[in-house]
Amino acid sequence: MNNLPLTEVYRPSLLSDCILPDRIMKPLSKWKERQNTHLIFYGGAGIGKTSTAIALAKELSPNDYLVINGSKDNDDHFVNNYLAKHMTSISLYGSKRIIIYDESDRLTDNAQAGLRKPLEDYAHITTFIFTVNYPEKIIAPIKSRCIEFDFNLKGNEMDASKFALIIRLKNISKKEKKSISNNEIELIVNNHFPDIRKCLSMLELY
């Protein structure tokens, strides 16, 4: 029996599996070809920032990526010691190493300042993806070294993404043999979207 939550079991492994509007999906698909800059994903909780980052890492560097919890490992001592070792060494697998700094808006100002030069010096061997709830807490020098993506949905993007999520949840419910109707799935999405994580957690209850 698989005891993993649905949010982990069905976490995307490819960028194409992510539920994203075209204004994010298209440039990220182009970015994959070159991977020539760092990224910042920002927006509300549960809308797919970390899942998208992990999908990119699994697709581009499946044997050499690291996810760091910025709410825990967020000071300059961590950055200058532990993290520096991962940034400066060449990957043994022939691809660029990817470091996902989750909740990186929790980084102290000193920690962020300590990242400025390494982000430039080691960009040829290490790519950073920062996920952020509050982009105003990220200092300008880091933003200038990254491409920023706003994951908050705009206008008609909401309806298209809701429809895609409803289809995804219906497929998951069939695979998991859930006793839930299509109307109940639509109700979950209508009540909790755009928090995709919350929608999956609610589906877990059936």
Q: Considering the chain, what is the average pLDDT of its residues? A: 94
pLDDT band at 2 (very low <50, low <70, confident <90, very high): low
Residue with tokens 């990242």: 115
pLDDT value, residue 3:
80
pLDDT band at 53 (very low <50, low <70, confident <90, very high): very high
Asked whether the predicted pLDDT for residue 84 surpasses 90, the reply is no
This prediction's pTM: 0.94
Q: Tens digits of per-residue pLDDT, 157-183?
A: 999 999 999 999 999 999 999 999 999
Asked whether the predicted pLDDT for residue 23 surpasses 50, the reply is yes
Distances from the Cα of 52 to the Cα of 12, 24, 56, angstroms: 7, 10, 6
Alpha-carbon distance of 68 to 100, in angstroms, equals: 6
